[in-house]
Chain A
């Protein structure tokens, strides 16, 4: 575990460094994919920058709204650079909506853009998982296995590495996916991976009965992604049949 990386007198949290690396490398991969698909590379960087800005601002505003009494006496603290005072789960929703708004504004084909963003998103997820491994976050349940890691007083599943490994396999899988289905395949694979891997996670949000919230959400997203893939696949088959019939008729 390496929660803090020291460079000279400065001490930096490895999870924060991993997040920065994930965003940068994710955007870099997305830029390359955008260019490869005939889109503007700048749109990749712009969408990531807009997502970060909107996520941070709205996450802070939601946090302020949740703690209005506290901020009423010290409104200047709304601008305090304290990462703990962010409602990130809400901010992320607004960040995604902002990206969709940007694509709409730029009149970009959503399916094409989503396909181009998918590899970068998976790369970012893998780096974040490695950052969690370094910081000791998102740790696993106790297990006596040859590959267990000793963390927080017990030998545990290295779930962060399972997560990173599964995400990297996802990168290989989406290379074989058809255009138009790449983003959905990535979403389905990542959801399936989280559904499985989080079964070994101890540091999680729980629903009554000890069910992990992340697994329930992952299963719901997986089913939606599969339904969309099925619909898309079916419509492709129908288009192919119509084209074949047209060719026969004209022949």
Chain B
């Protein structure tokens, strides 16, 4: 049994030393630069909105942002649009915004969709899919929750429920 006591004690010492030696600074990913991934700074973008006005990510700093990639033909996108509109309307006064980036469609296709769902948040046009590629979007809908400092805090692929959106947005709004 003594042999085992020695093995267990040695394991505890070596294991503790390894944990200590390999500790790293909190949020080590920030140094790697912008990446479309949770805990990395969000990639920058500049696009034209559906109403023709220019919009860039620089102007969103200080707000909690939900960047959502979508298209009119995408069924799950249709499912979650009312959820996005509802949370946006409810939380707009708290420095929360939704940026809905349409992938590769023209304004004439998008406008009736926006009217049908009464969408009031900004709709941006990514006609050449360059921003979608920067965000590594391989399927839609794809959503990125970005905090006030411009760090992505969650990424979700697929249609979101209201409960999910609320559970991601509320803690980010509480952080100052």
Contact = CB atoms under 8 A, between A and B. Distances in A.
Interface string A123-154: 00000000000001000011000000000111
Nearest to A153: B32
B163 A136 contact: no
Contact of A152 (B8, B12, B40, B154): B40
A41 interface: no
B18 A199 contact: yes
Given A219-B12, A222-B15, A230-B1, A67 B28 contact: no
Contacts of A70: 162-163, 166-167
Interface residues of A, number: 46
A80 B138 contact: no
A230 B163 contact: no
Nearest to B167: A67
B32 A142 contact: yes
Interface stretch (A45-53, A101-109, A207-215): A207-215
Interface stretch (B19-27, B92-100, B115-123): B19-27
Contacts of B154: 84
User: What is the size category of the interface that chain B forms with chain A?
Assistant: 35 or more
B88 to A, nearest CB: 16
A71 interface: yes
A13 interface: yes
A215 B1 contact: no
B56 interface: no
Contacts of A65: none
B143 to A, nearest CB: 10
Contact of A209 (B11, B15, B16, B23): B23
A85 B1 contact: no
Contacts of B160: 82, 84
Contacts of B18: 195-196, 199, 215
A76 B144 CA distance: 25
Contacts of A154: 32
A215 B28 contact: no
A10 to B, nearest CB: 9
Given A84-B160, A85-B163, 5 more contacts: A13-B157, A70-B163, A153-B40, A211-B23, A234-B1
